[in-house]
């Protein structure tokens, strides 16, 4: 098996295929660094990428190596499937994590957005200023019902969530439009409102995951690796290498390198050619950049991102050193939500006293910088910003026929839930069986994962 690109999805898949499925892996990348679209750059690398090779870092930012800034930042759901993958593959041996301080949602209109902490427990719901008094009590009852709901126990149902839509469930609990918006977008983390027409069981499970993740670690459901996300693909690559995986990086810079994906007369992949030599395979994992100009991928819109460096915490967030803000599209007359992720020197990604905020959203107009203006207005004064747009590619081939398992580009969300779902889907297609996320995870390891988080005031280390 061959993997092209060392983005997080490709590295997770190669790590799983090597350590769990026991496949032989050749992993190649045209870049000289791990991570691809999910790489972490120091400040000098960041300036050269966006300002040109001669760009100099202003002295007031301090040492370049004190920064490790993600090009595509995403948080990890504390009880989500990515944590289970990290534990089951033992990649946690290579990483340190830090909790994310808060999860917020913005309400109001385009010119007057207010930031509110997302309530995830009945107690928080009653204290929240997101809702009026009567709505708080209704939302409290809804949250209690969600927490108690057990598909195997009919008396907990009240409503059959396999049949009732999310819209009808919200109507039953008399939730108002703004309450529905932050429930669907900030708790259940849906990208749009299409879920309202679908069976409510998925919405309930998402809300349960959010609440259980919050209760496990504190103020938010998210954790984040120290020194940035670049450690994740590196960790999975190490796991793959331990199980016999072979790595070739920086191949594009070799003078005689010619990359070509080989197929047989039936259109099925047979290998990759590099420097006049071919490596054979019958399955290929790759990021979409290796298939540009082919009919195997399709551009499906664009994603706008803006990296901002600040010298202060985000206003109205209780001086949180890290956080997520979700601005529902409906609050700013948009279809798509706007996401803000913030980390700081506490996470070893910036110099002391510095904060890194990244704003992202799907592009809807011909003026994408104006589209993120509502989010930038929440951040306060900026010391620096880097804005760019990337095409969002999705695979349109049939991997059952051609053996090419092409991942999609990274979406605008500030969490890994959609990425992890794609990885698990591809693992099942590659092997024919779903990944058993408990296979290599002992109860002791899971308990230590929790114990270390509770008793370390700053971060936990899993050895």
Domains of the chain: 2-41+228-299+393-461 (3.50.50.60), 99-224+300-391 (3.30.519.10)
pLDDT band at 251 (very low <50, low <70, confident <90, very high): low
pLDDT band at 459 (very low <50, low <70, confident <90, very high): very low
Is the per-residue pLDDT at 443 higher than 70?
no
Is the per-residue pLDDT at 457 higher than 70?
no
d(CA 46, CA 431): 38
Question: Which range has highest mean pLDDT (88-97, 387-396, 438-447)?
Answer: 387-396
HEC string for the chain: CEEECCCHHHHHHHHHHHHCCCCCCEEECCCCCCCHHHCEECHHHHHHHHHCCCCCCCHHHCCHHHCCEECCCCEEECCCHHHHHHHHHCHHHHCEEEECCEEEEEEEECCEEEEEECCCCHHHHHHCCCCCHHHHHHHHHHHHHHHHCCCCCHHHCCCCCCCCEHHHHHHHCCCCHHHHHHHHHHHCCCCCHHHHHCECHHHHHHHHHHHHHHHHHCCCCEEEECCCCCHHHHHHHHHHHHCCCEEECCHHHCCCCCCEEEECCCCCEEEEEECCEEEECCCEEECHHHHCCCCCEEEEEEEEEEEEEECCCCCCCCCCCCEEEEECHHHHCCCCCEEEEEEEHHHCCCCCCCEEEEEEEECCCCCHHHHCHHHHCCCCCCCEEEEEEEEEEEECCCHHHHCEEECCCCCCCCECHHHHHHHHHHHHHHHCCCCCCCCCCCHHHHHHHHHHHHHCCCEEECC
CB 83 within 8 A of CB 69: no
Is the per-residue pLDDT at 146 higher than 60?
yes
d(CA 278, CA 244): 19
Average pLDDT for 335-354: 93
How do residues 148-171 score in pLDDT, each as one tens digit? Answer: 999 889 888 888 899 999 999 999
Q: Which region among 22-26, 264-268, 439-443 has the lowest average model confidence (pLDDT)?
A: 439-443
Neighbours of 26 (CB within 10 A): 19
Tokens standing for residue 399:
């991997």
Is the per-residue pLDDT at 207 higher than 50?
yes
Q: What percent of the chain has pLDDT over 90?
A: 54
Is the per-residue pLDDT at 428 higher than 80?
yes
Is the per-residue pLDDT at 2 higher than 90?
yes
The pLDDT value recorded for residue 131 is 85
């Amino acid at each position: 098996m061959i993997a092209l690109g060392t983005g997080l999805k490709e590295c997770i898949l190669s790590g799983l295929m090597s350590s769990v499925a026991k496949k032989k892996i050749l992993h190649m990348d045209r870049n000289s660094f791990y991570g691809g679209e999910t790489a972490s750059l120091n400040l000098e690398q960041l300036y050269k990428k966006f300002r040109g090779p001669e760009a100099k870092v202003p002295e007031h930012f301090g040492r370049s190596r004190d920064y490790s800034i993600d090009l595509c930042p995403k948080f990890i759901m504390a009880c989500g499937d990515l944590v289970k993958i990290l534990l089951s593959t033992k990649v946690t041996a290579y990483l340190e994590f830090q909790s994310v301080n808060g999860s917020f949602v913005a309400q109001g209109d385009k010119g007057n957005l207010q930031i509110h902490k997302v309530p995830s427990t009945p107690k928080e719901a009653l204290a929240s200023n997101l809702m009026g008094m009567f709505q708080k009590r209704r939302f409290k009852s809804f949250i209690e019902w969600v927490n108690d709901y057990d598909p195997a126990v009919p008396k907990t149902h009240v409503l059959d969530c396999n049949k009732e839509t999310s819209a009808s469930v919200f109507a039953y609990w008399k939730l108002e439009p703004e309450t529905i918006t932050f429930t669907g977008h900030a708790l259940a983390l849906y990208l749009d409102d299409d879920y309202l027409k679908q069976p409510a069981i998925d919405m309930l499970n998402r809300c349960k995951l959010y609440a259980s993740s919050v209760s496990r670690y504190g103020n938010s459901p998210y954790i984040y690796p120290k020194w940035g996300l670049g450690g994740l693909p590196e960790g999975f690559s190490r796991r793959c290498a331990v199980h016999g995986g072979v790595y070739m990086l920086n191949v594009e810079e070799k003078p005689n390198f010619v990359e070509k994906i080989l197929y047989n007369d039936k259109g099925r992949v047979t290998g990759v050619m590099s420097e006049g030599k071919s490596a054979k395979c019958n399955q290929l994992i790759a990021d979409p950049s290796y298939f540009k100009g082919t009919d195997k991928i399709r551009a499906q819109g664009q994603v706008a991102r803006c990296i901002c460096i600040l010298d202060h915490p985000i206003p109205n967030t209780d001086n949180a050193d890290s956080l997520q803000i979700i601005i529902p599209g409906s609050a700013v007359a948009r279809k798509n939500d706007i996401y803000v992720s913030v980390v700081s020197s506490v996470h070893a990604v910036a110099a002391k006293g510095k904060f890194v905020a990244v704003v992202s959203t799907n592009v809807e107009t011909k003026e994408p910088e104006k589209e993120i203006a509502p989010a930038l207005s929440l951040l306060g004064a900026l010391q620096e910003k880097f804005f760019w747009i990337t095409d969002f590619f999705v695979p349109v081939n049939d991997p059952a026929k051609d053996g090419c398992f092409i991942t999609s580009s990274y979406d605008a969300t500030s969490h890994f839930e959609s990425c992890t779902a794609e990885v698990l889907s591809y693992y099942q297609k590659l092997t024919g069986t779903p990944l058993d996320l408990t296979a290599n995870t002992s109860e002791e390891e899971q308990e230590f994962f929790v114990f270390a988080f509770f008793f370390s005031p700053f971060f936990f280390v899993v050895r």
